[in-house]
Chains A and B, each alone.
Chain A
């Protein structure tokens, strides 16, 4: 009789989530650009749940960090660092789920004023970075429209998108109505409980990535950290 392997399970779920999101969001290093073109990065939209988790278990390089984590687990887990969390993240909140390329993201409704369909091109201002798509007049507000793909994935990967042939469809407008985040699709609104979210304990790198909805592997974005701060000319 053939011996069947026991089902694989995630040893350290939080590490798995962090690694999964890091894989999705990391800017592609120039040295692997050619390879990446041949074999695109994981497509969460096709197989959002199973593929990355399985890879975490079977790939050799990740075994060592997982073992280290197991040793660390003997100590009581430190509570979440609420001091670095925005106020909205400390209790149940409603979030808007949206899509940028193949990545599903969420951000609290309280950080948004409204969403609009893109029906005209933003006015491009010379001399601005490529992730700044331009200004859009909308209901007496002048909104700076941002290429969310470039902000999330970095210039190298984000700017590979041809916005003429593959334009963004919608814009999320921030609470202060100063910024608009271009996205591909607005999905839904849902309630999120803080205990269903794996919150990041350090936000030194990618401070806008505040946590992950555990069940859906959805990145929660802190818009205040993602949008630039307009500099006033002297």
Chain B
């Protein structure tokens, strides 16, 4: 492969996870670890998208209810459920997902901008879409997963 193509059309790795019928991808570079479901302590007065906090080797990590965030009906976590610990610009947070699937590689050119037909704010964390095994893969921009106000709110936990 030529150096030019490596630079103009880089390969990126994505960790894919499932929520309901859909599959999502997040940048592997932002994933710290994947945990089995553990005890999540609820936080009184927390917004609805915050499930609670966990103790990760002495550090308090806020766990986000990803189903709530994506407007999906809630579901009791089962054995396949995982908390993916991710690193955003300033925060380390956990996101609860139905299951973690695999790590996939794809070129930047394979990613298409997601249509934005509604409220800009509500879907700004969708980085793009692509197809994998004849199924839609929705790529999530973790840096935009929470708004600045919401990030500031997390600092209070």
Contacts and interface: CB of A to CB of B under 8 A. Distances in A.
Interface in B93-116: 112-116
A162 to B, nearest CB: 14
Contact of A126 (B112, B115, B123, B136): B123
B129 interface: yes
A228 interface: yes
Interface of B: 20-22, 69-72, 112-120, 122-126, 129, 131, 134-136, 138
B134 to A, nearest CB: 7
B126 to A, nearest CB: 6
Given A137-B134, A142-B129, A125 B115 contact: yes
B123 A127 contact: yes
A135 B117 contact: no
Nearest to B140: A126
B70 A127 contact: yes
Contact of A125 (B69, B119, B134, B138): B138
Given A124-B22, A137-B131, A231-B117, A142 B123 contact: no
Contact of A231 (B70, B71, B116, B136): B116
Given A123-B138, A137-B134, A129 B117 contact: yes
Most chain A beta-carbon neighbours within 10 Å: one of B21, B122, B136:
B136
Nearest to A140: B131
**For the complex, would chain B's binding face be called helix, strand, loop or mixed by DSSP majority?**
loop
A199 interface: no
Contact of A135 (B20, B120, B125, B136): B136
Contacts of B20: 124
A180 to B, nearest CB: 12
B65 to A, nearest CB: 13
Interface string A106-142: 0000000000000001011111110010110100001
A173 to B, nearest CB: 15
B116 A123 contact: no
Given A132-B117, A137-B135, 8 more contacts: A125-B114, A126-B122, A127-B119, A127-B125, A128-B122, A137-B131, A231-B120, A233-B120
Q: Which 4 A-B pairs give the minimum distances between C-beta atoms?
A: A123-B136, A127-B123, A127-B122, A126-B70
Most chain B beta-carbon neighbours within 10 Å: one of A123, A126, A231:
A126
Given A125-B138, A126-B71, A137-B136, A144 B21 contact: no
13 contacts: A125-B129, A125-B138, A126-B70, A126-B71, A126-B122, A126-B126, A127-B123, A129-B119, A132-B118, A135-B129, A144-B117, A230-B115, A233-B120
Contacts of B70: 126-127
A214 to B, nearest CB: 34
